[in-house]
C-alpha cells in the first residue's frame, strides 16, 4: 500500500494528481483481483495464474495490501479456499 495522502518522500506533500492517480490504480487493481478471485472460486493458485502473479503467496499479499482481507476471510468461511 502507498504512503498516506498528505506525505511523500522528504516530507513533501503529494499532489492531488498523484493522490487521485494512486487511488484510481489501487481501485482498479482491487476490482480486478476481486473479480478474478470470485471467477476462480477464491482459489489462490488459479488466481495467481490468471493474473500472472507467480504464486498464491503473491495473491495473499495483494489481498492484504488492497484491503480485501475481510472479504477473503468471509469467503473462506463459506467455501473451501484452495491455496
Asked if the model's pLDDT at residue 48 lies above 60, the reply is yes
Tens digit of each residue's pLDDT (9 = 90 or more) over 9-31: 677 899 999 999 999 999 999 99
Q: What does the pLDDT read at residue 79?
A: 62
Q: How many CB atoms are closer than 10 A to CB 42?
A: 22
The larger pLDDT score, comparing residue 2 to residue 72, is at 72
Query: Is the CB of residue 51 less than 8 Å from the CB of residue 36?
Result: yes
> Grid cell 502507498 — which residue?
2
With H, G, I as helix, E, B as strand and everything else as coil, classify residue 59.
helix
pTM score, two decimals?
A: 0.78
Cα distances (Å, whole numbers) of residue 52 to 9, 39, 48, 64: 30, 15, 6, 18
Say yes or no to pLDDT of 3 above 60: no
Amino acid at each position: 500500500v502507498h504512503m498516506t495522502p498528505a506525505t511523500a518522500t522528504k516530507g513533501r506533500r503529494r499532489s492531488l494528481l498523484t493522490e487521485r492517480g494512486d487511488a484510481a490504480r489501487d481501485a482498479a487493481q482491487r476490482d480486478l483481483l476481486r473479480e478474478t478471485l470470485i471467477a476462480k472460486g477464491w482459489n489462490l493458485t488459479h488466481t495467481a495464474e490468471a493474473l500472472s502473479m507467480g504464486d498464491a503467496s503473491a495473491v495473499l499479499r495483494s489481498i492484504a495490501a488492497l484491503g480485501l482481507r475481510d472479504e477473503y476471510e468471509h469467503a473462506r468461511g463459506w467455501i473451501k479456499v484452495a491455496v
